[in-house]
Every structure is written in structure tokens, then in C-alpha cells.
Amino acid sequence: MVKNENMKNSYKHERYYVRVIKYAILQIIAAILIILWLMPLYALFVGGLKSNIAAAATPALLPPSKPSGDAYYFVWKGFGGIYGLIGLEYPLLREILIAVPVAALATFLGAMGAYFFYIIMNRHFVLSTIGFAIISLATYLPVETTTVPLIQIVSSLHIYNTYYGVIIAYLMFYIPMSALLMSIFMPSIPNYLLEAAKIDGASDWKVFWKVMMPLLVPGFLSTFIFTFLQIWNNFFIPILLISNPHLMLLSIAVRQYAGGYAIIYNRSFAAGVVGSIVPLVVFIFLGRYFIRGLAALGGGAKGV
Amino acid sequence: MKKQAYLMVIPTLFFSGLLLFTIVWNIWLSFQNSSILVHKPKFVGLATYQYLFSQYFFKISTMHTLVFTVGLVAVGNVLGLLFAGLLYFIPNNVQRSIYLSIFIYPLAIASSTSALIWEWLLNPTIGIDWLLKLMHLPAPYWLGTSNMSLVSMIMIEVWAYTGLAALFYLASFMNIDKSIIEAARIDHASDLKILFRILIPNSMNGFIISTALLFLFSFRIFTIPFVLGGSATSPTLMTYVMYVYNLFISEYFSASAAMAVIVTLIAAAVILPFAILGLMKWVFRR
């Protein structure tokens, strides 16, 4: 009896050490991967704080010996005359003024579309399948496939080199995407709420606005943030539809500071920081909404 | 009462219709010979496609697209699975979600910024090669030779998109009934055994989702090869979507449209089955 107890204890003891070692190995592997994944971000922030010569001559992964904000000042103002580079101050403002309202509009209109798919899903199977196929196609199709028709539509409407063209192109891709994301969030709302509101004589708009939307705030926010970041990070549509440097959007303005003819060392890092600071801050504070939006792309993977 | 719902779907229908219209327009254009060299374009049947298939850039972009896509799908799936396994066995919820966020953040930042950072990190004197030399490891010229550029590109893609695969694998691991894992633990199954015998075999949906999404994300990648390659006309990293743009700026409009049709067909062959057989079923018939 006593012997048996002892054996049990020693067994438990061993298990405890094994568990601790296993846990330590797990954490060490995770830490190595985390460091590898964060390395580019670290190089970005460190590089922008170096002086010009230091950035070109010292390893990208070493911190600056004497931090300086020169590069940020330069990319912010641009000193257009000197290198023909555009400062990032106005492109950043323009990007905010375009990305926020367009993302909000796309999310809202997409949510209305998703509501339609949601209520006809049980009644018109073929119709809803076709609709769902179309919005999925619009979500996942590479933007570049629309190059020639897009430029022809935009120039025949005489809106080449204006923001109207860019906004129409964004809406063309991101309203269907929002509709898809919202149709993935919507089925989590129980059907009987809709039925009850309908029996009480509420119109579709009232059901959507008063019943669905208050319950869908997290899904709506996820869709909005996901769409916002997609628009913010979009590179192809602005480069295709805007050639006037005075209308440049942020992602294109950042690219001036990379490679090509304009390798101006520390400034490319600073430009990268300015280009990604808003997405990074959004990701740090509202990352779970972004991740939920991402998960919705794969059918709303539940449990994360 | 139902009329209002039909009104509400109009914006979505209008803009998706516009997108479908651009696809149809591409098909129509691809059967003509519209380019800067032709004054009055006329119908030429499949001649544009024949022209396209004979081009060197077409062959090289096919090769690159294939390498990038297969590379990302293979490496991304394996790493995503292992990352998800790692995260699954981390007992602390807060820690797990922070780690997952760190694997996912490359998807949130601008791809023009990622391209710019990697251009520096792959620099042979001051980039990661500096660290590799310091540790007496082989330090390749990342963007120096054409084969190494492809490897570098896959590496950047893996950095950018593995978080996606990890997210979906972790989600499907979390969906597996906890009692099965408890039962395995009582039978003294090791963590590795649980991962390979229980978690992975039961994550078919995670595999389907992450394969489809990794394929589509890799297939549409434009900014990073565009910036790293130096310009839209540089063949070193040219992919299908870059070739569409390249043909457009060199004003071969019909050839560009034909290329866009090819891209659309390949993408649609993955998107439509994924959307109808996968997404719709999971979302609406659960």
C-alpha cells in the first residue's frame, strides 16, 4: 500500500519535470519564431532613426548609435524640388480622407446586400448561389485582371487622374467583399428574431436597421476594419488610375523612396514607417477585429 | 414588404455587375488585335492568344507564378500547421492570441512597406547576410541570381502569409472535441502524438481553406515583385498579374486582356468550387 503510494508520487514528480521541460521547449521555439517574424518591423523602425550615412553603412539590424529624426522630417515634407520626391504629409491625409469614408460606405452597402442574400437563402436556392458565387469571385479575383476595361471605363467617363475613378474601382471590389464578409457574419443571428419582427409588421429596412445592425456591430466593425486596411494597402488601383504626382496616394508615394532611381538610404525606412503607421496602430488596438475579418474569408472559422 | 430587400441589394448588384462586365469586356477584347500599333482593331479570333503563348515573358511569368504558388502553398501549409500546433499547446489564452497576432501582422501592413523593408534586409552587405556571416552561416546573394530571387520571393511570401494558414489550422484544432484529447492524455499520449494522430487528421477544413487562400493570395501578389524587381518591365520576378500590367503599359491592349482572361480562368477554377462547395455550405447549413 505504502509502496504503491510512493510509486505514484515519484511518477507524478517525474511528470512534473517533463512537463516543465516541454513547456520551456515550446516557449523557446515560439520565442525564436516571434523574433524572426518581428525582425523586419524592428529593422524598419531602427533604420528610420539612423543618419543617412549610418543607414547605408551599418547593418540594418543594429540600432543607431545616434538616433536622429532627419529622415522623418525629410519624407514628411519631401523637399519636392531637390529630388523630385513628394512629401508624405499630403498623401497621408488624402489616404485617410479616401480610405475611411469609402470603407464605411462599402461596408454599409455590402451589409445591405448581405441582408438580401440572408433572407432569400432558404427560398431561392439557385438565385442565392449565383449571387454568392459572384460576390466571392469579386472578393478573390486579382485586381490586376481588370486593368484594360477599368482604364477604358474611367477614361470614357473622363475621370482618369481624379479620385472618382479610384473610388469607383474601390467600390467595385470592396462592396462585394463586404457583402461576402457580412453574409458570413449574419447567420449567427437567430432566425426567430427576424420572424418576430416581420410578424409585428416591420419592413425589411426596419428589420435590417433596428434588429440586425445592433446585433451585428462586431461583425460590421470587423468588415469595416478589414476593408479599410485593404484600401489603405492597395497599390495597384492608385498606380493604374492616377499619374498626377500632386494627387498621389500614400502607397505610391512610399514607393518613390524604394529602389529604382531613388535609393536614399534612411529615408526609405522612414517612408515605410509613415506608410504603415496607421495600419499598425489599427492592428495593435483593433487587431482582433481584423483577424475575425480574415477568418471570415475562410468561412468564419469559429473558435479563434 | 419584400420589395425593400430588393432595393437594398442594388448597390451590391450594380458593382458586382460592373466587375462581371469587365470580365466580359476582357474576353471580347482578347479576340481582337487592339494595340498601339493597330489603327482600327478588328476581330482576329484566337490569334492574340497564339501571340501570347509564343512570348518569352509569358513563359517566364508562367514559371515564376508556378514556383511562387506551389512554394507558398507547400511551405505555408506545413509551417502554418506547425505554428498552429505550437500555439495550441500554449496554455495561456492571452499569450496565444498575442503570438497569433504577431504571425498575422504582415497581412495588415502595406505591401509597399514590406517590399521596401525586404529590399534592405536582402542587401548582401548590411541585410540579414551580415547576421548570417556573424554566425558563420552561409550567406547567399538573395536577389543576386535569378534562382535565389525566386527563393527570396517565396521566403517573403511565407513571412507574409503563413499567419493565415496558422489561423485556420488553429481554428480547426480548437473545433475538435476536447474530450478526445483528454482521453488521449489519460492514455499518456505525448503532445506530438496528439498533434499528428488527432489534430492534423481532423483538420481537413483548415487544409482546404488555407490551401485555397494561400493559392489566391500568392496568385495575386503584385506589389512585392514589382518593387523588388525594380520596375514593371523587369523580367526577374515577373508573375502573371504583373505581365497583365506590363502588356497594358506597353499598350498591347488585346494581349493584356487575353492575359487577364487566363488569370481570371485560373482564379475562378479555385474560387468557384471553394465558394459554393465550401463557404456556402459551412456558413448557411451549419
Question: Does B11 fall in a domain?
Answer: no
How sure is the predictor about A119, in pLDDT bands with cuts at 50, 70 and 90?
Answer: confident
Residue B64's pLDDT is what? Answer: 93
Residue A81's pLDDT is what? Answer: 52
The 3-class SS string of chain A reads CHHHHHHHHHHHHHHHHHHHHHHHHHHHHHHHHHHHHHHHHHHHHHHHCCCHHHHHHCCCCCCCCCCCCHHHHHHHHCCHHHHCCCCCHHHHHHHHHHHHHHHHHHHHHHHHHHHHHHHHCCCCHHHHHHHHHHHHHHHHCCHHHHHHHHHHHHHHCCCCCCHHHHHHHHHHHHHHHHHHHHHHHHHHCCHHHHHHHHHCCCCHHHHHHHHHHHHCHHHHHHHHHHHHHHHHHCCHHHHHHCCCHHHCCHHHHHHCCCCCCCCCCHHHHHHHHHHHHHHHHHHHHHHHHHHHHHHHHCCCCCCC
From chain B residues 170-229, the ones with a CB under 8 A of any chain A CB are: 170-172, 174-175, 191, 205-206, 209-210, 212-213, 216, 219-220, 222-223, 226-228
Between A142, A204, A295, which is nearest B171 by CB?
A: A295
Place of cell 492616377: A242
Question: Within 13 A of B99's CA, how many CA atoms are on the CB side?
Answer: 26
Minimum Cα–Cα distance from A208: chain B residue? B5
Report the share of chain B in percent with pLDDT over 70: 98
Q: What is the ipTM of this complex?
A: 0.90
Best to test chain B binding among A28, A44, A136, A140 (most B CBs inside 10 Å): A140
CA–CA distance, A242 with A159 (Å, rounded to integer): 10
CA distance B65 to chain A (A): 13
DSSP, res B125? T
Q: Which of A59-73, A192-206, B145-159, B162-176 has the lowest mean pLDDT?
A: A59-73
How sure is the predictor about A74, in pLDDT bands with cuts at 50, 70 and 90?
Answer: confident
CB contact under 8 A, B275 and A132: yes
Residue A12's pLDDT is what? Answer: 52
The answer, yes or no, to whether residue B157 has pLDDT greater than 70, is yes
Domain with residue B126: its CATH number is 1.10.3720.10
Question: Does B20 fall in a domain?
Answer: no
How sure is the predictor about A254, in pLDDT bands with cuts at 50, 70 and 90?
Answer: confident
Number of domains within chain B: 1
Residue A1's pLDDT is what? Answer: 44
The answer, yes or no, to whether residue B72 has pLDDT greater than 80, is yes
Residue A125's pLDDT is what? Answer: 83
Residue A47's pLDDT is what? Answer: 83
Minimum Cα–Cα distance from A107: chain B residue? B12
Domain of B225, in residue numbers: 57-282
Whether residue A47 contacts residue A273, with contact meaning beta carbons closer than 8 Å, is answered with no
Between B108, B115, B159, which is nearest A258 by CB?
A: B115
pLDDT digits (tens, 9 = 90+) for A18-56: 888 888 998 999 999 999 999 999 988 888 888 777 777
Between A47, A121, A257, which is nearest B284 by CB?
A: A121
Minimum Cα–Cα distance from A294: chain B residue? B164
Place of cell 454568392: A132
Residue B74's pLDDT is what? Answer: 96
Question: Does B109 fall in a domain?
Answer: yes
CA–CA distance, B241 with A166 (Å, rounded to integer): 19
The answer, yes or no, to whether residue A79 has pLDDT greater than 70, is no
